[in-house]
Amino acid sequence: MLELRNTTKKYEIGSFKQAALNGVDLAFKTREFVAVLGPSGSGKTTLLNLIGGLDRYDEGDLLIDGKSTREFSDQEWDSYRNHEIGFIFQNYNLISHISVLANVEIGLTLTGLSPEERRKRSEEVLGRVGLIDHIHKKPNQLSGGQMQRVAIARALVNDPEIILADEPTGAIDNETSRQIMELIQQIAKDKLVIMVTHDEAVAKGYANRIVSLSDGVVTDDTRPPEVTVPDNGALAFDKTSMSFLQALKLSFSNLKTKKFRTLITAIAGSIGIIGVALVLAIANGMNNEIDELERTTLAEFPLQIDPRPIDIDAMQGGPFERHMNEEDAAFDEEIIYPLEQEFGPPSTHTNDIDDDYMQHLEALDESLYNEMSISYDVNMNLLKDLGDDIINIDTNDIGFDSTLSDETFFEENYNLLAGDTPEGKSELLLIIDSQNRVDAELLEAIGLGAEEEIPFETMLEYDFHIAYPDDYYIQDDNTGRFAPVQDKDALIGEDTLELNITGIARLDEDAPGGFLTPGLKYHPDLEETYLERARTSDIGEAQLESDVSVITGLPLSESAKEALLKELGVDSTPAQIQIYPVDFSAKNTITDHLDAYNTDKEEEDEIRYTDIASIITELSGDIIDGISYVLVAFSAISLLVSSIMIGIITYVSVLERTREIGILRSLGARKRDILRVFNAETTIIGFTAGLFGVLIATGLTFPINRLIAYLVEDLENLASLPLFAAAGLILISIILTFTAGLIPSSIASRKDPVSALRVD
């Protein structure tokens, strides 16, 4: 039993109010065919919409089996329409972009039935209305009568209790009208059919009850039923819900009808993705090249353990700060030029290399490295005979060290410009920078003019002398102190070691980089020879036994004594250790071994090392990443623009599919189901745009790689978009378009179903 009690519905247009229904009292039996007659504007369609739950009454009540609907929620009205109501519209209201079968089946998609059960029930009802041979056609391929039969089949497929027909024969010819009315008459034997019509002949010819309306008031009812006592219990219907997969299918079907627009939209949306993908592809290729460089060429760069290791955070931009014009300038290939430069702080940590650490290094498998070079913080007594004077040279000012102990490393990364590489303790090598420059302080320290330009041949004729400690220091018999020999001419004799610059070299322009600062480099044999003499020297042995400086006579702290012993060459604690790995894998094993020493140690007690290869690759990687971030940011602007465009297109789609929204709501779709339909549409567009972007970008990498290979030697197949990046870009495209479509999708979900159905 369906009953309206004193039901009123008013419409407001500005300050004007119109009562479409004014205190209507009507009751309907479970099985009867009721025709509602009345002129246009009498309230017939409003009555039908209120009964069908498409519209809401203002006053009164609608009772179903004696149960009030006054407190119904939106979701309960949706469930009521899906399970209890079947609509037959005058203009059919079929969704044009899906098949006849899909139109009938769509109401069942909200019930949770399996696809097999939905198809079975839909085919059965289409067979009842005589359309089983037309199930795969689109609505526009049918006649008016056939489309109305589809609408009837859709109304019946859920097996509702109530069929609401709004002028079902208004748009078809007389013969077809007769067939449709006979079909509806058959349906009324098992269900309550309420038909709105203005045709009195149709009403009297088929309906068994006629209700007349005029100005929103019931003026006549030919067979009013007896009203039962109301039951105030609550109504309960199964909830309706459209799955996201079904929403995707519905939206995909709609997009197929607009292939060209969808294609253009997806391509436009892919422009930003293409830009980002190309940046990522090139950045990935560059990083791969850097990694490969580290695995091959850089693998043999030494691991350095210095008293103050290089701190990557303290040396952004390079190992030192240069105060000069770095632009390439013309220079004579056989001239050495002075350079004013200042070294910045390389580290914030101090290593204390002791016997415990040396034992840890001794446990390292010797097959992992070509050489382990150890140097000491000894101040060799380096002298230069200038003819009219003999000067002491502070070795700290001239880059005096043995960092070129690994010949393979030197040969692969440095070019010998003149002379020969050192082969013994008496031979030195001068390293200059890419523009033939050395520190002006070095030139001044060795007795050359700091402003002069020096030919290679002049430098190759330059010699020095090393005076061993027992020759350089003499002890005062009275005080017991040691002091340098005053008559330096006496030092230049048979017992001093003469050193000669035998070669000049600079970093190869194709080398990945180097952390060997320009300066004078000696053969490791020189340090070994000097230390052998220094450890048994008189001054060394005297200083070991005394806590007072044997040179100044002043008391020494423990650290000061240790530093003095190192300077004299007595302390055997290394000042620097260089380990040259045999390959990349060995380097990783060595660093793991070095890291293991710092386990469970306090930060200040750690021994840190400088991984030159990693520093080069990290600096290069940071530069590439920084450039990539900037380029991606610029590309992202087009992503934003395309997202806004997709939002606008989604809103256009909402306007185009307004009637479809009304149809779905009449079948019981919830607001969130409508939202899901349009979210599904933006998801499809986003996926398509992302896929296009990735595919187009991948295609563009081929000509880009050829261009790069043409411009840069040995860089082939550089651009390469990683699979995870491609998947990520597609996901980003989906998220952006999904987000851009939220506002128009929300607008669609809030559309009034009655108004939506009226849209032409």
497 and 640 share one domain: no
Which residue range forms the structural domain that includes residue 444? 377-572
Cα 739 to Cα 181: distance, rounded to the nearest angstrom: 48
738 and 696 share one domain: yes
pLDDT at 322 over 50: no
Q: Tokens 């299918």: give the residue.
A: 249
427 and 531 share one domain: yes
Q: What per-residue confidence (pLDDT) applies to 327?
A: 47
Q: Is residue 403 part of a domain?
A: yes
Residue-wise pLDDT tens digits, 578-591:
888 888 788 889 99
203 and 266 share one domain: no
Q: What per-residue confidence (pLDDT) applies to 275?
A: 86
647 and 559 share one domain: no
Q: Is residue 705 part of a domain?
A: yes
| Last-in-domain residue among 521, 555, 572 | 572
DSSP state of 614: H
136 and 14 share one domain: yes
Q: Is residue 55 part of a domain?
A: yes
Q: What's this model's pTM, rounded to 2 decimal places?
A: 0.63
Q: Is residue 370 part of a domain?
A: no
Q: Is residue 36 part of a domain?
A: yes
143 and 265 share one domain: no
Mean pLDDT is highest, among 106-110, 170-174, 361-365, 394-398, for 361-365
Question: Based on the structure, what is the number of domains in the chain?
Answer: 3
Residue-wise pLDDT tens digits, 609-633:
888 777 777 767 677 777 777 777 7
| Spatial CA neighbour of 508 closest among 592, 393, 431 | 431
Any idea what the CATH number is for the domain that residue 110 is in?
A: 3.40.50.300
Q: What per-residue confidence (pLDDT) applies to 123?
A: 93
Q: What per-residue confidence (pLDDT) applies to 209?
A: 93
The rounded Cα 89 to chain-centroid distance in angstroms is 50
The secondary structure of the chain in percent helix, strand, coil, rounded to multiples of 5, reads: 45, 20, 35
Cα 696 to Cα 721: distance, rounded to the nearest angstrom: 11
Contact 527, 428 (CB under 8 A): no
Q: Tokens 């004078």: give the residue.
A: 520
554 and 671 share one domain: no
pLDDT at 230 over 70: no
| Last-in-domain residue among 572, 603, 624 | 572
527 and 654 share one domain: no
Find the mean pLDDT for residues 512-528: 76
Q: Is residue 495 part of a domain?
A: yes
398 and 496 share one domain: yes
Find the mean pLDDT for residues 237-261: 83
32 and 115 share one domain: yes
Cα 145 to Cα 183: distance, rounded to the nearest angstrom: 12
Q: Is residue 323 part of a domain?
A: no
Higher pLDDT, 403 or 648: 648
- The pLDDT-based confidence of 280 (bands split at 50, 70, 90) is confident
Contact 686, 272 (CB under 8 A): no
235 and 265 share one domain: no
Q: Is residue 624 part of a domain?
A: no
